Chain A
Amino acid sequence: MSYVELEHTADVKLRVEADTLEDLFSEAVRALMVTMYGTALPGACTVRVEVHAGDLVGLVHDLLSEALFLSEVNEVVFASACLTIEEGAVYGILQGEPFDPARHRGGSEVKGITYSGMKIRKEDDKYILDIILDV
């Protein structure tokens, strides 16, 4: 799994790829964190997460919105997520390291996860997600 930053004039547009939906969601969380903090490395902190939405795009949107919230209030930079995806719900554990102002000031504050241009598609056995973050 991996992600790249695509061209977007005002905000940050990301394309995330993975073999499974679970990995796609996990990598999207890491991509969000790297955007915010400049780096996101594995660590011992864990935080439970659960969101509900009517479709896959809604689920990934709400998962990322929740990860942003949980990162800020728990002061943890998540590097991965161990998730279960069911119809209408995603739940599991977000994992990462404690926020350290000395090491986590290389990114840009994300204000929100937008629905504009958000897409999930499957190509050659890979899941691909496009997201635009408001920074």
Chain B
Amino acid sequence: MLAGIKKVGPFEWEVPQGFVPNMRVPGRFFLSDALMETLEEGAVQQLANVATMPGIVKNSLAMPDIHWGYGFPIGGVAAFDREEGVISPGGVGFDINCGVRLLSTPLRAEEITNRRELIERLFHAVPTGVGAKSSIRLSSKELEGMLLKGSAWAVENGYGNAKDIIRCEEQGQMKSADPSAVSDKARQRGMPQSGTLGSGNHFLEVQEVREIYNASAAERMGLSTGQVCIMIHCGSRGLGHQVCTDHLKVLEGATKRYKISLPDRQLACAPLDSPEGRAYFGAMAAAANYAWANRQVIMHMTRGVLSSLYGIGEDEMPLVYDVAHNVAKFEEHRVDGTLKQLCVHRKGATRAFGPGSHDIPPEFADIGQPVIIPGSMGTSSYLLNGTSRAMERTFGSTCHGSGRVMSRSKAKKALSGQEVKKALENEGIIVRAPSVGAIVDEAPEVYKPSGEVVRVVHEVGISRLIARLEPMGVIKG
């Protein structure tokens, strides 16, 4: 165990002030004893670094998928006071609104007798991998629409239906988006990439609902055992990456100008109410909208494949929900009994608003917001719901995935792409990727067991299990 940190609950650890100099609040993270072995010192250091930032409220937090990132740790959550706080791209990451959505279908797993053909058709319908180009030719006016309106732009242009919109966090559109803060360079990158999956840990997976933990909530979300669902995981592509790069440079200057002292240059930030802070927030929101539109377009392509293969209509394939993993947003939270406007940064963490909270589809208002936790390729994914405990303890946040435990370089030495592919196929999981390297990078062995990460958030009560989904086939970026 790391010196200086202490256990304060069955799954809760504290990083006291003083762990790094100038911490304004303590750090807190959630982890089981079994996952403690995977904790990296670098991740704890990053959690402590975040605690030095001006205006941070209560705690610098990390979820049980905590791992060593850049700026914030992955799994990091921090809320900043609207008046005294800052905004930082280091708390959002390059892939703004990297997120995940779950699409339900009326199909049963046993009906998918042509699994390989289904995966092949999806692979050809959705462009994947480095340098992949979209079949959609956007005009600059259309790109502007995506940046302003997100999912609503996609629906207005024929990609999906109005019901999809209410099943997205923020209804798939951050209204504070300011496209004028998105550079020409970012636009150049975004133009040919709408409706592309990207690479790395991004994927589109065909899944079967294998186990239900909360029957009434699952029924309300339209899920039953044996049902086929599709999970889509991707973000804002080159446009979002460029927005982060551009504004990081501006905010580096701002950090000096506002005399903010930071332990890591990647945490460059500016006061929320400064021209630089407002510009980054507006550009980040526009990139988040691009990501929502992107996932909506990919879902539309997916529905097209399922319709043509199985003769089912779009209205039989409702979106269950869509959540963001990398974003900063203004939210109202109760702090020491008083409601406060805070800017909540989630970097590799998921919003998990409890029952009765703002911005939950009315049909789920008494259950809490659906939370989707993807597993790694070949391992379980989970559907959960947000809780009032998350509102009290984590600014309405929970984990976002499993978290890596093996580096890409180690994975390449230890595993072969063909073997990983074959092992998955032996379990009945078809994998399709542009290269075998992409398969090794994301092999099941390189991640923490997703079940253990989810067990921790369930036990702590910051989200509660509804269902477990198992992969049938996956296309990798």
Residues of B contacting A113 with CB < 8 Å? Answer: 245
Can you list, as one digit per residue, whether each of A37-54 has a CB less than 8 Å from chain B (1) or not (0)? 110000000000000000
Known: A57-B265, A72-B131, A114-B71. 14 other contacts (CB 8 A): A9-B405, A10-B407, A11-B69, A101-B131, A105-B435, A108-B408, A109-B129, A109-B198, A111-B93, A111-B94, A115-B264, A132-B70, A134-B70, A134-B93
Q: Could you tell me if B441 and A108 are in contact, using CB atoms closer than 8 angstroms?
A: yes
Q: Could you tell me which residues of chain B, from 419 to 456, have a CB within 8 Å of some CB in chain A?
A: 434-435, 437-438, 441
Roughly how many angstroms separate A73 CA and B190 CA in the complex, as a whole number? 10
Q: Could you tell me if B438 and A108 are in contact, using CB atoms closer than 8 angstroms?
A: yes
Residues of B contacting A36 with CB < 8 Å? Answer: 130
Can you list, as one digit per residue, whether each of B226-258 has a CB less than 8 Å from chain A (1) or not (0)? 000000000000100110110011001000000
Q: Is B357 an interface residue (CB 8 A)?
A: no
Q: Could you tell me if B404 and A10 are in contact, using CB atoms closer than 8 angstroms?
A: yes
Can you list, as one digit per residue, whether each of A77-117 has a CB less than 8 Å from chain B (1) or not (0)? 00000000000000000000001010011111101111111
Q: Is A22 an interface residue (CB 8 A)?
A: no
Q: Is A5 an interface residue (CB 8 A)?
A: yes
17 contacts between A and B (CB under 8 A): A7-B410, A8-B68, A9-B405, A9-B406, A10-B68, A11-B69, A38-B437, A69-B189, A73-B188, A99-B131, A108-B437, A108-B438, A109-B130, A109-B199, A111-B241, A115-B70, A134-B94
Q: Is B15 an interface residue (CB 8 A)?
A: no
Residues of B contacting A132 with CB < 8 Å? Answer: 70
Q: Could you tell me if B407 and A9 are in contact, using CB atoms closer than 8 angstroms?
A: yes
Which 10 A/B pairs are nearest by Cβ-Cβ distance?
A: A112-B94, A116-B70, A114-B70, A115-B265, A111-B94, A109-B199, A115-B266, A116-B266, A5-B409, A105-B434
Q: Could you tell me if A109 and B435 are in contact, using CB atoms closer than 8 angstroms?
A: no
Roughly how many angstroms separate A132 CA and B198 CA in the complex, as a whole number? 20
Q: Could you tell me if B94 and A9 are in contact, using CB atoms closer than 8 angstroms?
A: no
Residues of A contacting B69 with CB < 8 Å? Answer: 10-11, 116
Q: Is A26 an interface residue (CB 8 A)?
A: no
Question: Which A residues are within 8 Å of any B CB, using their own CB?
Answer: 5-12, 36-38, 57-58, 62, 65, 69, 72-73, 75, 99, 101, 104-109, 111-118, 132, 134-135
> Which partner residue on chain A sits nearest B98 by CB separation?
A111
Q: Is B300 an interface residue (CB 8 A)?
A: no
Q: Could you tell me if B244 and A105 are in contact, using CB atoms closer than 8 angstroms?
A: no
Question: Which B residues are within 8 Å of any A CB, using their own CB?
Answer: 40, 46, 67-71, 74, 93-95, 129-131, 185, 188-189, 198-200, 238, 241-242, 244-245, 248-249, 252, 264-266, 268, 404-410, 434-435, 437-438, 441, 477
> Which partner residue on chain B sits nearest A109 by CB separation?
B199
For the A-B complex, the count of residue pairs with Cβ-Cβ distances under 8 Å equals 107
Q: Could you tell me if B131 and A75 are in contact, using CB atoms closer than 8 angstroms?
A: yes
Roughly how many angstroms separate A120 CA and B368 CA in the complex, as a whole number? 49
Residues of B contacting A12 with CB < 8 Å? Answer: 408-409
Q: Could you tell me if A9 and B131 are in contact, using CB atoms closer than 8 angstroms?
A: no
Roughly how many angstroms separate A104 CA and B188 CA in the complex, as a whole number? 21
> Which partner residue on chain A sits nearest B202 by CB separation?
A109
B74 to chain A, nearest CB (A): 6
Picked from A8, A72, A105, A114, the residue with its CB within 8 Å of the CB of B129 is A105
Q: A112-B94, A116-B266 given as contacts; is B189 within 8 A of A72 (CB)? A: yes
Roughly how many angstroms separate A7 CA and B46 CA in the complex, as a whole number? 17
Residues of B contacting A10 with CB < 8 Å? Answer: 67-69, 74, 404, 407
Roughly how many angstroms separate A108 CA and B202 CA in the complex, as a whole number? 11
A11 to chain B, nearest CB (A): 7
Roughly how many angstroms separate A6 CA and B408 CA in the complex, as a whole number? 10
A12 to chain B, nearest CB (A): 6
